[in-house]
Amino acid sequence: MAEGDAVIFDFPPVDSFPAAIIQWLDASGKRLPSYSENHHVTLTNQLFVLNTKYDVHNNVVFRATATNGYTLQTISSPLYVLRVQREYAPSHVFFHVCLDLAARFSK
């Protein structure tokens, strides 16, 4: 993606009762706050990375986890590495990434 663009990461629906608790983590496993200057986690568990900058976001790693609050069963997404290019390409202003997870919670 080009510097200055935004990207959205989706965590797919998981079959869980009660509803799974989704958390977005950085490379060290630290939970991302719901909002910061550079990103926002929505109520629908999407991670928006805003106004990407090469020096800040290039090679940043994210991962998401889904935890069933009753059984405490947790599944994790693969690691996702954000690649930012220095040059600006106006045709690429917005990216939407859907995390493809086959794992489901059992009820």
pTM: 0.75
Number of domains in the chain: 1
- What are the pLDDT digits (tens) for 82-93? 999 886 555 444
Cα(34)–Cα(41) distance, rounded to whole angstroms?
5
- Per-residue model confidence (pLDDT) at position 4: 87
89-102 average pLDDT score: 50
93 within some domain: yes
44 within some domain: yes
11 within some domain: yes
**For position 67, which CATH number holds?**
2.60.40.10
**Domain range spanning residue 30?**
6-98
Mean pLDDT comparison of 9-18, 22-31, 83-92, highest-scoring range: 22-31
104 within some domain: no
